[in-house]
Amino acid sequence: MGALLKILINAAALWVAVMLLEGLEFTGTWLALLGIALLLGIVNVVVKPILSILSLPLVILTLGLFLLVVNAIALAIVIALSNALDLGLTSDGFGWTFLGALVISIVSWGLEAVTGR
């Protein structure tokens, strides 16, 4: 049940980011959005820790702010996978991806606080 709730939270956060940012576009169905949320969860579990460890000197040097860039890189990977699987999530550039990752992080944090995860 916890994994399903996390996927739903990721899907809601993705939807909010797409609605708020004109540089992120989603043209798929709700099922595709859930698939992208699943991809985001997998990338966050598998790739993001590796990126965080490899960028540890920069994270320490910037007092943790570089983790925002790591989040944006993880979202860029999800967008690339979405394009490869024809799920419908696109971005107009890394700046929009960065802002999207920021919105997704904030919304996910808020929803996890509300749901008690």
Compute how many other C-beta atoms are within 10 angstroms of the C-beta atom of residue 50: 10
Angle between helices 66-84 and 94-115 (to 10 degrees): 100
Output the tens digit of pLDDT for each of the chain's 117 residues. Answer: 688 999 999 999 999 999 999 999 999 889 999 999 999 999 999 999 999 999 999 999 999 999 999 999 999 999 999 999 999 999 999 999 999 999 999 999 999 999 886
Provide the whole-model pTM.
0.92
CA atoms within 13 A on the CB side of 89: 29
* pLDDT tens, position by position, 62-88: 999 999 999 999 999 999 999 999 999
- On whether the CB atoms of residues 57 and 45 are closer than 8 A, the answer is no
User: How many whole angstroms separate alpha carbon 37 and alpha carbon 103?
Assistant: 14
Consecutive H or E run containing 24: strand 24-26
Report the percent of the chain where pLDDT is more than 90.
Answer: 92
